[in-house]
A and B are shown apart, each in its own frame.
Chain A
Amino acid sequence: MTREKIINTALLLGLLAVPAWAWAVDEPFTITLATRVAILALAGVGLNIALGLGGLVSLGHAAFFGIGGYAMGILASHAQSYTPLMETPFLIEGTKSMPVIWLTALFAAALAALVIGALSLRTSGVYFIMITLAFGQMLYFFSISWPAYGGEDGLSIYVRNGFPGLNTLDPIQFFAICFALLAGALWFNARLARAPFGLALNAARQSPARVETIGLSPFRLRLAAFVISGAITGLAGALFADLNRFVSPTMFSWQMSGEIMVFIILGGVGRLYGPVAGAALFITLEHLLGGLSEFWLIWLGLLLLLVVLFARGGVIGLLAGRQVAHD
Chain B
Amino acid sequence: MTPLLFIEQVLNGLQFGVMLFLMAAGLTLVFGVMGLINLAHGSLYMVGAFAAAAVAGATGSFLLALAAALAAAAAAGALVELLVIRRLYDRDHLDQVLATFALILIFSEGTRWIFGSFPLFLDIPDWLSGTVTLPGGIEYSLYRLAIIGLGLAIAAGLFWLISRTRLGIRIRAGESDREMIAALGVDISRLYTIVFALGAALAGLAGAMVGAIQSVQVGMGEPVLILAFVVIVIGGIGSIKGALIGALLVGLTDTLGGLLLPEFFKLFMDTSAATSTGSALASMLIYILMAIVLVWRPRGLFGGAA
Contacts and interface: CB of A to CB of B under 8 A. Distances in A.
Interface of A: 51, 57, 59, 119-120, 122-123, 125-127, 129-131, 133-135, 137-138, 141-142, 144-147, 254-255, 258, 261-262, 265, 269, 295, 297-298, 300-302, 304-305, 308-309, 312
Contacts of A120: 294
Main secondary structure of the interface of B (DSSP, over half): helix
Contacts of B291: 119, 135
Contact of A123 (B103, B222, B288, B298): B298
Contacts of A138: 284, 287-288
Interface residues of B, number: 44
Given A131-B290, A133-B226, A258 B101 contact: yes
A254 B102 contact: no
Interface of B: 31, 37, 84, 87, 93-95, 97-99, 101-106, 108-110, 112-113, 222, 226, 229-230, 232-233, 237, 276, 279-280, 282-284, 287-288, 290-291, 294-295, 298-300, 306
A298 B109 contact: yes
Contacts of A297: 105, 108-109
Contact of B105 (A145, A301, A312): A301
13 contacts: A57-B94, A122-B298, A126-B93, A129-B93, A130-B230, A146-B276, A147-B276, A295-B113, A298-B105, A298-B110, A301-B102, A308-B95, A308-B99
Nearest to A258: B101
Given A119-B291, A126-B93, A305-B84, A300 B229 contact: no
B99 A305 contact: yes
B92 to A, nearest CB: 8
Given A59-B97, A126-B37, A300-B105, A141 B284 contact: yes
Given A123-B294, A134-B226, A308-B99, A302 B106 contact: yes
A146 B101 contact: no
Nearest to A312: B95
B294 A145 contact: no
B283 A309 contact: no
A125 B112 CA distance: 33
A295 B229 CA distance: 28
Given A122-B295, A254-B222, A301-B109, 13 more contacts: A57-B93, A123-B298, A129-B37, A129-B93, A130-B37, A131-B233, A134-B229, A134-B233, A141-B283, A146-B280, A261-B98, A298-B113, A309-B99
A300 B110 CA distance: 12
B294 A304 contact: no
Given A51-B94, A122-B294, A304-B98, A127 B233 contact: yes
A305 B279 contact: no
A295 B111 CA distance: 10
Nearest to B229: A130
A269 B92 CA distance: 12
